A and B are shown apart, each in its own frame.
Chain A
Amino acid sequence: MSWPDWIVLALTLLGMIAYGLYKGRTSRDLDGYFLSNRMVPWYMVLLGIMGTQASAVTFLSAPGQAYTDGMRFVQYYFGLPLAMIVLCVSFVPVFRRLKIYTAYEYLEQRFDLRTRALTSGLFLLQRGLSTGISIAAPSIILSSLLGWNIFWANIIMGGLLIIYTVTGGAKAVAYTQQLQMIIIFGGMTVAGFMVIHRLPAGVGLSDVLHIGGKAGKLNIITTGIRPGGGGFDWNDRYNLFSGIIGGFFLALSYFGTDQSQVGRYLTARSLTESRLGLLLNGLVKVPMQFLILLLGVLVFAFYQFNREPVFFNQSQLDLLAHSKYKDSLVWLTHQYETTETSRLAAAPSIAANAATPADRSRAAARLLAAEQQKTGYKATVRRWLDDKEVGGDSNDTNYIFLRFVTDYLPIGLVGLLIAVIVLAAWGSIAATLNSLSSCTIVDFHRRFSRRPMSTEKEYQLSRLYTLLWGVFCIAMAQLAYNIGNSLIEAVNVLGSMFYGVILGIFLVAFYRKKTGGKAVFISAVVVEAAVIFFTVLSRQGIVKLSFLWFNVVGAVGVVLFSELLQLFMKRKTV
C-alpha cells in the first residue's frame, strides 16, 4: 500500500475515533451508557441496525460470492423484511413498554430468572466467541493481501474502536455508525463506478449483465429443486424457500433476540421511531445487498477484459511455490498466462464489434468459452492447496474484491476502500461490545449482586465490562487465527447453533401465554443439546441439512416441545 493510501486510512480511522469521543458524551448512568437516554432519531436507528448487521466480511465476501457462485446469495435476505413486520407488531411494543435494557429482562417477567439467565448466557457465549472470529476473518484477509502483521491487523480491526465504545457507550456507537455507513456507501459506490469506468470503450452495464448472465452469475432466483424432478435439495444454502423461511427465522431471531440489535432500536426516541427504523431496514436491505452482489458481477465482467490471477490469494501461491508443487506451479503459471494473453488479445475486438443485442450475446458466449479453458488450471491450483501436505486454503472468494481494489484502483481510493472494510468491522463490533457489556451488568452482575450499587458504580462497571469484552474478543481473534480456514462459515454455523433456540424461547413468551417457565427452560436445554448434536452430524456429512435450517429446527423445536411438556405437567398436577 502506498503512503497516500496509508494517510487516507489513518486519517479516516483517527477521525472516526475523534468523532466517537466528541459525540459520545452522555449522562453517567445505565440509561445514558446503554440507551443514549432513548433520544436517537429514526434515521440513526436505521443506520445503526444496518451498521451492526453489515460486518467487514459482508463487503469482502459478498462481491466475491457473486463472482464465484452468482447473485443467488441475495435470497438469504428475503425473510428479513417479513421479520421486520413481525418485530414491529409483537416484539418492539413489549420491549418499549417495559423500559428494559436487555431483551432477556423480559424473559424473567414472563417466565423466571433461570430462563432469563440461560438465554442471556447463550447470547454471551455465542456472541463472545463469534465476535473474536469476526475480527480475525477480515484481519487474516488484510494481512495476507497487504502483508500486515496479524497481531496489528487484529488491533486495527477490533482494538481501536474500544477507545470510543468504552468512553461513549451506545451514543458513541450510534453516531459513529451513522458516519461509517455514509463512508461505506460512498466508498462502494465509487468502487462500482470505477469498475464500469475501467471497462473497454463500448462495453456498458447492459453488456456486463449479458456476460454475467451467460456465465450463470445472474442466478438471482433459484428454487433449490433438483433438475429432472429430483426433489428439494435441503443442503442447498441459498434458494427462494430457504431464503424466505430459513432467512425469516434467522432475521427474526437476530433482530428480535440478539442484544446487539435490540440495543440499537431501544435507543430510539419513541416506539414510532423504533418501528420506522426497522421497517425502513426491511425496505432497503434487499436492494442494498443486490447492489453489493452486482459489484461482484461487475468485477467478473472486468476480468473478462483484463488479466485475471490464477488464484486471488497470492500468499497461498507463495505457499505452493515453497512446496512439492513448485515446479508444476511454474509450468501451470506459464500455460495459464499464455491462455490469458490469447484471450485478452481477442476480447477488445469482440466488444467493439458488438453492435446489436444478438452480437453482444454471441460475443459474451465466445469470451466465456475461453473462460472455461482457464477453469482447469484454477481447479488444479485448488487441488494442490487442498493437499494435506501443503495445508493451504483453497477458497479465495474473500480475496477477489480486495485484490481488484489493490491491483486496479487509483492511489488514495485503495486507502479509502481499506478504511471502508475496517469501518464496517468497527460498526458491527462496537455494537456487540456494548451489548455484551449491557447483558453482563444488567442480566448478571446487577441482578445477582446482593448489595445495591450506586448509579456511578454501575456506570463505571459498564465501562470496565466493555473494555474486558473488547480484550476478550481480541484474544479470541488471536486464537482464531490458529484455527485457520473457514472462519466466516464458522461464524454462521455458530450463530445458527444458538439463534433458533433463543428465538423459540421468545416465541413461546410472546405467543404461548399458557406455557410456563419450567417447560420452556427444559425444552430450551434439550433442544439446544439436540441442535449441537445435529450440527456435529452435519459437519461430518452424516446429516445433509444446510445451517440455515437449524434456526427453524431450534425455534420450532422449543415451541413444540415446551407445549408438550406443559400439557404433561398440567396432567400431573390434575
Chain B
Amino acid sequence: MDQEPGEKVPLFKKWSRWYVLVAGFLLLNILLFYFLTKHFS
C-alpha cells in the first residue's frame, strides 16, 4: 500500500499520512461548508 523500495515520501514518513491529510481536509471542508450553509440560510 505504501512506499516503493527506495522511495522518499515528501514531508511525512509514510504515504498513509498524506492520505489521512487529504481525507481529513475533505472532512474539514464539508464541515466548514455545512456551517456556512446553516449560518447564512
Contacts and interface: CB of A to CB of B under 8 A. Distances in A.
Interface of A: 74, 78, 81-82, 84-85, 88-89, 93, 209-210, 212-214, 216, 218-221, 240, 270-272, 275-276, 279, 282-283, 286-287, 290
Nearest to A97: B4
Name the interface size band of chain B.
20 to 34
A89 B1 CA distance: 5
Contacts of B25: 81, 283
Contact of A85 (B7, B19, B40): B19
Given A78-B30, A212-B40, 5 more contacts: A82-B23, A85-B22, A221-B34, A272-B9, A279-B22
Contact of A276 (B4, B10, B23): B10
A11 to B, nearest CB: 37
A209 B38 CA distance: 12
A240 B30 CA distance: 9
B37 to A, nearest CB: 5
Provide the main secondary structure of the chain A interface. helix
Contacts, number: 68
A218 B10 contact: no
Given A89-B1, A271-B7, A286-B29, A218 B22 contact: no
Given A218-B40, A283-B25, A271 B4 contact: yes
Nearest to A88: B15
B23 A218 contact: no
Contacts of B9: 272
A209 B19 CA distance: 32
Contacts of B15: 88-89, 275
Contacts of B23: 81-82, 85
Contact of A74 (B1, B22, B33, B39): B33
B33 A290 contact: yes
Contacts of A287: 29
A84 B22 contact: yes
A374 to B, nearest CB: 22
